[in-house]
Amino acid sequence: MTRLLVDTHALLWWLTDDAGLTDAARAALADPANEVLVSTASVWEIAIKRALGKLEAPDDLPDHIAAQGFGWLPVAAEHAWVRDLPPHHRDPFDRLLVAQALSEGMAIVSGDARFGAYGVETRW
């Protein structure tokens, strides 16, 4: 079993069946042999951007995510302590996802090429 962490944009595209999600990413998320996890940081990021009017998301977003069979990856102290990450990425949410993936030994489902600079495996 492969554990996969879903980047926020990939999660939103999965939930809305957006054509921007590649076939390879879609297959990885749909494969029952994979354990697909969503960071609570992604839900927080969506909530902030929704409140700012930058995107739309349903009121019951966590329920929609759970209905997909995705699990949750809570933010632990060792994930948040990202002091040693080089500044390849300035987005704090993406830096946290990188720290989670590195700490947990997971690949990230994302189209963000900057993740590779951290040595994180991506599926896209």
* Cα of 109 vs its chain's centroid, Å: 7
In CATH terms, is domain 2-123 a member of 3.40.50.1010?
Answer: yes
Tell me the helix, strand and coil percentages in the chain, rounded to 5: 50, 15, 35
pTM of structure: 0.90
Q: What is the mean pLDDT of the chain?
A: 91
Tens of pLDDT, residue by residue over 72-104, are 999 988 877 766 766 766 788 998 999 999 999
